[in-house]
Each structure stands twice: as structure tokens, then as C-alpha cells.
């Protein structure tokens, strides 16, 4: 992830942290589910989905194929788009989605994909591991539509979006013809009515019995969005099949981590193998961490200061390796965890700790740093800048520790030194 793509998230985090609540800001990585997991939820809420089965052991692929009783499409399950145009990293097998000609072909596809790594335009060169496959009934699509629900600030609640054109990027559709995008704000207190669902279905080009089927699925999708505390439900394509059925053929659903306490079973489905292991480790200690592409590791308290720190490093020719806000409740355990993550990054050449002691006191940070280095060692050059509450005590703790630490009072000088050491 680049620094520019992080900026909005950091600004939002700064607005949240500026409210002054004396608690640590926890990392928010909205829960994403695999396609098969979303289809299971859709099925539960009465949304039209094709027949499917999940394979988590490639030795069972043949029997699962037989059990489907129909021709199948074999789809890799990774949390990234562009699977059909991707390739397998280990054997350069092309495509993460294939129509199986027969049982033998399905097994061949499974052998090539299962347990390997899929690289797509969204995964980056490192790719994502394929731990399971989805077998979906083969069907012919007569026409494709696009459908989504998301929270919209200007609408003051859920916004339903549709288009008569689907199967491709909604951004491309909007760029080619802005009038092709249908928007319907929904009163969150009233909810979506059957009349609104029917109106949206017709506006998306469904007619006759297909409009009724589409409206039923739209109502089901809205229930998913509200009852599961979703941040987004996106269906592409929302298709009419040649046999007359209306189906959700592919979907992407995001869930709000803030509502995890209401949906423990749902959030237990989280697949951490699809995430940056550094971010997974950070979340266990309530560290607000996002990995970046640079060589200077940053440990800062406060999202606004973290963004300013990264900007200053960039100004002096450096590249931040991460966004890391330890928040206002950091302790020896969390700082030790942070050091392990920072030093474990092979791209990191220097570490810059920049603390403004407000809620978090400088002596607490200093004690945590000394203890953390005692636990995990110090293998990278370290620059520390402490300002604020108990700063003198913090400086004394570092000075008395005997550690090889470059200490500064001035923000600019500290940033320049971190860049030089990197």
C-alpha cells in the first residue's frame, strides 16, 4: 500500500482520535468474506443464488463434483478481484476461474489451484493463498445488471445503486454514461418497502416474472445489509439467466468491525490467511497498524501525528514503512509486540519513534521501549523524539538504559536523522 492511498483513512482516524477519549484507537479492517461465505448468507436471507458447494480438500473434489449433478464452474476463493484474469504463482496456471468440461477436468483445475497462490491485479505480486474452491452450477446468462447498497453520508442512510449494465467495472459504466447509474436513497428508520424494491428492479431493466424475482432478491439483500451491519453489499453481475431465473452470480460484502459483538459467529469466519500477517499480529494488541512500502518504520501516538511524521519523512526523501499509532493506552506488552512487527519487516532500515506525551506519558513509552528492546533486541538503528508529559523522566530512562538510541527534541532533526540512517 502506498502512502497516498492511506491518507483518507489516517485523516478519518485523526478526526476520531481528536475527540479526546482516553482510549487506544483500535485498528479497523472491515471484515471481508469469501464469495462462498457471502452466498451462504444470501441463501439464508432468501436471495436467489445458484447451486454451489465448497471444497476445502482437493482429494474430495471429484466426489463433490459428482454430488452437484450438473456441469460446474470451479472458482478460486481469495479476497481479491480479477480472479478470472489472474495466474497461479507457483506454476503460471492461467486464470482463477474455469468452466470444468467434466469431472477429470475439474480435478485437474483443482490440482493446479488448490494450495497455491493466485496473483491478480488487486493482490500485488505477492498474491493470495487459495485454501478452498467454490463449485458453482454452470448456467447461461441472458443479461447482466449491477446492484449495490452502501451507507451514504449525503443521503443520511443506505443508498441503493443499480444499473442495467453489469459484468464490468461500475466506474467504467459511470464514465461511459452517468445516466446509466440509478440511485435510490432509503430511509433507514422506515426501511426498504416492497414497492421500492420493485421500482428498483424495473429501473434495472427486469420485466414480468423476472422483475418479481429481482425485487425479492433486492429485499433480501437489503435485509442482509441492515441485519448483518454491512458497510457494503455489491452484486456484479445481478443476472437474468436463459432459463428465466434471476440470480446473484457474484457478490462482495463488507461488515463493520464495530458491530462484531453483535455478530460473533459471522466475524468468526474471518480468514486471516488473506491478510497482511503484520496487521493480523498488530490487531491482537490493539495496535493501529497498516503496512506500507518504505524503509523507515514509524511508531507514533495519535493518528494526526502519525500522518505528519510520514509526510515529513517523505519530504526529506524517505519512505515510511508503515502507519503505526500505539494510541493512548500503550504498555510494555503492546510496545514489545510493535517492535517485533517493525523489526521483522525485512524492508525496514531504521525505526523512528515520535511521541507527543498527552494522554500517553513519555516515561511510560520510554519504559516500554527499554523493556521491549530487552525482550526482542535491537537490530535496526533507532531514532526517538519525546515531547510533552514527563518528557524529562522519559529522556532519563533512555539515557540510563545504555541503549544505542539517537535522541532528539526537534521533530525536523529527528526525521532527517531517521531518513539518513535508512
Q: Where do the structural domains in the chain lie, given as residue ranges?
A: 3-27+275-421, 51-137, 141-267
Where does 245-346 show beta strands of DSSP type E? 246-248, 251-255, 288-291, 296-300, 322-325
Max CA-CA distance within the chain? 80
Out of 234, 240, 279, 319, pick the active-site residue: 234
What was the pLDDT predicted at 131? 93
Q: 3-state DSSP call for residue 24? A: coil
Architecture category of domain 51-137 in CATH: 2-Layer Sandwich (3.30)
User: Where would I find the H helices in 347-390?
Assistant: 362-376
State phi, psi for 253 to the nearest 5 degrees: -130, 130
Neighbours of 175 (CB within 10 A): 9
Fold (topology level) of 3-27+275-421: Rossmann fold (3.40.50)
Question: What distance in Å separates the CA atoms of residue 290 and residue 15, rounded to the nearest whole number?
Answer: 18
Out of 146, 240, 289, 319, pick the active-site residue: 146
Angle (nearest 5°) at CA 146 between 141 and 151: 150
Tens digit of pLDDT for each residue in 375-406? 888 888 999 999 988 899 989 999 898 888 88
Tens digit of pLDDT for each residue in 220-257? 999 999 999 999 999 988 999 999 999 998 888 888 88
Question: What distance in Å separates the CA atoms of residue 360 and residue 157, rounded to the nearest whole number?
Answer: 36
One DSSP character per residue, 47-109 reads -----EEEESSGGGHHHHHHHH-S-EEEEE--SSS-GGG-EETTT--B-SEEE-SSHHHHHHH
Compute the CA torsion angle 364, 366, 370, 376 (nearest 10 deg): 80
**DSSP-assigned letter for residue 27:** P
One DSSP character per residue, 137-173 reads E---EEEEEEEEEEEETTTTEEEEEEES--SS-HHHH
Contact by Cβ (8 Å): 358, 326: no
Q: Digits of tens for pLDDT over the chain (422 positions)?
A: 444 444 434 444 433 333 333 333 344 456 778 889 989 999 999 999 999 999 999 899 999 999 999 999 999 999 888 898 899 999 999 999 999 999 999 999 999 999 999 999 888 888 999 999 999 999 999 999 999 999 999 888 999 999 998 877 778 888 888 888 999 999 999 999 999 999 999 999 999 999 999 999 999 999 999 999 999 999 988 999 999 999 998 888 888 888 989 999 888 888 777 777 777 767 777 778 888 889 999 988 888 888 999 999 999 999 999 988 887 666 777 888 888 888 888 889 999 999 887 777 888 888 888 988 888 888 889 999 999 888 999 899 998 988 888 888 899 999 999 999 98
Q: Specify the length of the chain in residues.
A: 422
Fold (topology level) of 141-267: D-amino Acid Aminotransferase; Chain A, domain 1 (3.30.470)
The reply to whether domains 3-27+275-421 and 51-137 share a CATH topology is: no
319 is catalytic: no
State phi, psi for 344 to the nearest 5 degrees: -80, -10
146 is catalytic: yes
Ramachandran assignment for 390, one of left (phi > 0), alpha (psi -120 to 50 degrees), beta (any other): left
Amino acid at each position: 500500500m502506498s502512502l497516498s492511498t492511506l491518507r483518507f483513512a489516517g485523516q478519518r482516524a485523526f478526526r476520531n482520535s481528536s475527540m479526546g477519549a482516553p482510549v487506544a484507537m483500535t485498528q479497523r479492517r472491515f471484515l471481508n468474506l469469501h464469495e462462498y461465505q457471502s452466498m451462504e448468507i444470501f441463501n439464508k436471507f432468501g436471495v436467489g443464488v445458484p447451486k454451489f458447494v465448497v471444497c476445502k480438500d482437493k482429494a474430495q473434489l471429484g466426489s463433490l463434483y459428482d454430488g452437484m449433478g450438473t456441469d460446474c464452474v470451479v472458482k478460486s476463493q481469495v479476497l481479491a478481484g480479477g480472479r478470472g484474469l489472474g495466474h497461479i504463482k507457483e506454476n503460471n496456471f492461467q486464470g482463477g476461474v474455469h468452466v470444468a468440461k467434466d469431472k477429470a477436468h475439474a480435478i485437474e483445475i483443482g490440482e493446479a489451484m488448490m494450495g497455491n497462490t493466485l496473483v491478480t491485479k488487486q493482490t500485488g505480486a505477492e498474491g493470495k493463498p487459495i485454501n478452498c474452491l467454490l463449485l458453482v452450477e454452470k448456467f447461461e446468462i441472458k443479461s447482466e445488471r449491477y446492484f449495490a447498497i452502501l451507507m451514504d453520508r449525503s443521503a443520511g442512510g443506505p443508498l441503493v445503486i443499480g444499473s442495467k449494465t453489469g459484468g464490468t467495472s461500475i466506474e467504467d459504466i459511470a464514465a461511459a454514461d452517468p445516466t446509466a447509474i440509478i440511485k435510490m436513497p432509503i430511509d433507514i428508520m422506515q426501511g426498504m418497502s416492497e414497492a421500492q424494491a420493485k421500482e428498483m428492479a424495473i429501473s434495472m431493466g427486469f420485466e414480468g416474472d423476472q422483475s418479481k424475482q429481482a425485487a425479492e432478491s433486492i429485499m433480501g439483500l437489503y435485509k442482509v445489509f441492515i441485519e448483518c451491519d454491512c458497510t457494503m453489499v455489491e452484486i456484479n453481475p445481478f443476472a437474468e439467466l436463459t432459463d428465466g431465473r434471476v440470480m446473484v452470480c457474484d457478490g462482495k460484502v463488507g461488515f463493520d468491525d464495530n458491530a462484531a459483538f453483535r455478530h460473533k459467529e459471522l466475524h468468526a469466519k474471518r480468514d486471516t490467511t488473506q491478510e497482511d500477517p503484520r496487521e493480523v499480529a498488530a490487531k491482537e494488541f490493539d495496535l493501529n497498524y497498516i503496512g506500507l512500502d518504505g524503509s523507515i518504520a514509524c511508531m507514533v501516538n495519535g493518528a494526526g501525528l502519525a500522518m505528519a511524521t510520514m509526510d515529513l519523512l517523505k519530504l526529506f526523501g524517505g519512505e515510511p514503512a508503515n502507519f503505526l499509532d500505539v494510541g493512548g493506552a500503550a504498555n510494555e506488552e503492546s510496545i514489545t509486540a510493535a517492535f517485533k512487527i517493525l523489526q521483522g519487516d525485512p524492508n525496514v532500515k531504521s525505526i523512528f519513534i515520535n511521541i507527543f506525551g498527552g494522554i500517553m506519558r513519555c516515561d511510560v513509552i520510554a519504559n516500554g521501549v527499554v523493556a521491549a528492546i530487552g525482550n526482542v533486541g535491537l537490530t535496526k538503528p533507532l531514532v526517538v523524539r519525546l515531547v510533552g508529559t514527563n518528557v524529562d523522566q522519559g529522556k532519563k530512562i533512555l539515557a540510563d538504559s545504555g541503549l544505542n538510541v539517537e535522541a532528539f527534541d526537534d521533530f525536523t532533526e529527528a526525521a532527517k536523522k531517521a531518513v539518513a540512517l535508512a
